[in-house]
Amino acid sequence: MNKRRRLQIAVALGALAVELACARLALAEDLPSLQPGLWSFSSTVIMKGSSKPQTRSLRKCTDASDDIRKKWAMLAQQSCKFTPVARTGNRYSYSSTCQRNGMALEMKSTLTVDSRTAYRVETESRTNSQVQKEVVVAQRVGACTK
């Protein structure tokens, strides 16, 4: 598999992992309430066997709590199986197995909520042929402009 294809798969898996990490928390009754506004998201993906991590950043005006709920509604239609969310203080952990595009994806995720304006998601994803780790750092940076 060429490097470009591996990177495409890594980005797709990373995006799915983050969606699932956030979405799964929507089932927890004690889902933290995140403050709406302008959020900055930075992601670092490290693939096993790769010498250089892949990074990306995004800023968007959003209600992060509402996004989590919407992503869960979308993913509820897919065939993912989850362990119960385990909460210890401000850390929410779980594992999941999903089938997507003919590929099995196993993930272990931990979301750490620092405040209503900051959180971090760490996910290890495994497919038949790849292992990757992703860290997403999310920070509210201000109010949305109209």
Q: Where are the domains of the chain?
A: 3-142
The better pLDDT of the pair 126, 24 is held by 126
Whole-prediction pTM value?
A: 0.74
Mean pLDDT of all residues in the chain?
Answer: 78
Q: Is the pLDDT of residue 115 over 50?
A: yes
The better pLDDT of the pair 74, 37 is held by 37
- Whole-angstrom CA distances from 27 to 12, 22, 138 are 24, 10, 20
Residue 92 near residue 110 (C-beta atoms within 8 A): yes
Cα separation of 51 and 19, whole Å? 26
Amino acid at 26: A
Q: Is the pLDDT of residue 88 over 80?
A: yes
Number of Cβ atoms within 10 Å of the Cβ of 64: 21
The per-residue pLDDT for 74 is 63
CA-based end-to-end distance of the chain = 45
Residue-wise pLDDT tens digits, 28-37: 445 678 999 9
Angle between helices 64-75 and 3-25 (to 10 degrees): 110
Number of Cβ atoms within 10 Å of the Cβ of 128: 8
Cα separation of 13 and 139, whole Å? 22
The per-residue pLDDT for 44 is 94
